[in-house]
Structure 1
Amino acid sequence: MAASNKSELIDILQKEYAKLDRLITPIPAEQAMLKDETETSIKDVVAHRAHWITLFLGWYADGQAGKTVHFPAEGYKWNELKRYNADLRAAQKDVDWAAAQALLKQEYAALLVFVQNCCNEDLYGGPMQGAKNHWTPGRWVEAAGPSHFRSAAKYVRARLRSL
C-alpha cells in the first residue's frame, strides 16, 4: 500500500531500507560480484538502486528550478530503460561491492533527509514539477526508494538461493 503522507513515507522508507540493508550486509564481496545468466550481479542491482535515488533527486531539483526534467535521463526515453540500464551497468563496472553498499547508504540518507525537510504539502500537495504526469513528489520518492529496495531484496534473495 502506497504512503499517503510524510509520516507514512518516512516509515516505509526506513523499513524497506532496513530490510535490504540487513539482507546485503553479510554478503561477501565474492558472492556479490558474481554475474548471473543476464550478466547482472548483486553489486550491480545495489549500485543501480543507489543511482535511481540520485536520478529522482535531480529530477526534483530540476523541476523546482524550472529546468527541463529529463526522464529517465537526458538522451533516453522511458521505453529505452533496457538501454539506459545497460549503459549504467557499464558505467558502474568498476564499482566494487564495498563502494556499492556505501553508495546505497549515502543515497538513502540523502533521500531520507529530503523527505524530512519537506512538508506534507510539498510531498503530496500536487504533481511533481516538470514530471509531466500526476505523480506527487511523495509517490516518486516511494518509487525511487522503498519500491526499489523491495525489488532489489527480491532479486538478492533469489540470487542467494541460486548460488
Structure 2
Amino acid sequence: MPRPKTKNELLSVSNQNYKNLWNYINSLSEEKLKTEFPKGYLNRNVRDVLAHLHHWHIMMFDWYTVGMTGEKPDMPAKGYTWKTTPELNKDIWKKYQEINFEEVKILLEKSFEELQEIINHHTEKELFEKRRYTWTGTTSLASYLISATSSHYDWAYKLIKKCLKQ
C-alpha cells in the first residue's frame, strides 16, 4: 500500500493495517500465539511484537507531547540515538517480558486510540507540512505518525506471518 499523502489516507491506511494485523492474529490458534519465533529475531513471539508496537506508540505520544510545547523531545528515547535503536528495542523487549498477551493487547489498543486522536486533532496541513514543527526537523508530523502507525503495523503483520511459517 502506498505511503499516505493526506489525512484521510493516513487514517484509512493506519486503521486498515491495524485491522489486518488483528484479523491475522485473531485467526491464530492459542498454540500459534505462544509459538516461539525462530532464532535470530529479537521479538520471540506475537506478544513481543505487540508490546514493541505499543511502546513505540508511547514514545511517539511522548515526542508529540513534549514537541508541541516547543521543547525538543528525547528521540528516540532518553539515553538512545537513532543509531542505538537496536539497543533500545532490546530494552523494550526486556521491559514487557512479565506482561501477558491479554495485558499487552489492552495496552496496544489504548495507545492505538491515542495516536488516532492525535491524527484526528490536526488538519491536513498541520500533519503534512514539512518543517511546520521544530521538533520534527525537516520532515512532517505525518511522517512520524506514519512510521509509528501504518508502516509499523505492516512490519508487524509481515514479521509475525513470516516467523510463524518457518
Q: Flag whether TM exceeds 0.5 (same fold).
A: yes
Identical pairs, percent = 21
Give the Cα–Cα distance (whole angstroms) in 2 for the partners of residues 2 and 48 of structure 1: 22
Match of 2:110 among 96, 106, 109: 106
Give the stretch that moved more between structures: 69-78 or 38-47. Answer: 38-47
Give the stretch that moved more between structures: 148-157 or 54-63. Answer: 54-63
Give the Cα–Cα distance (whole angstroms) in 2 for the partners of residues 118 and 99 of structure 1: 30
Aligned pairs, how many? 161
Gaps spanning 5+ residues in structure 1: where? none
Gaps spanning 5+ residues in structure 2: where? none
Give the Cα–Cα distance (whole angstroms) in 1 for the partners of residues 134 and 29 of structure 2: 41
Q: CA RMSD in A?
A: 1.6
Match of 2:90 among 64, 86, 91: 86
Q: Structure 2 matches for 1:1-163, cutoff 5 A?
A: 1-36=2-37, 37-38=39-40, 40-127=44-131, 128-131=133-136, 133-162=137-166
Give the Cα–Cα distance (whole angstroms) in 2 for the partners of residues 33 and 79 of structure 1: 31
Give the Cα–Cα distance (whole angstroms) in 2 for the partners of residues 160 and 129 of structure 1: 41
Q: Is the 8 A contact 1:124 1:137 kept in 2?
A: yes
Q: Deviations over 1:106-125 (max 9, x none)?
A: 11111111111111122012
Q: Deviations over 1:85-111 (max 9, x none)?
A: 111111111111111222221111111
| Structure 2 length-normalised TM | 0.89
Which secondary structure does the structure 2 equivalent of 1:70 belong to?
coil
| Structure 1 length-normalised TM | 0.91
Letter in 1 for 2:11: I
Displacement, 1:17?
Answer: 0.7
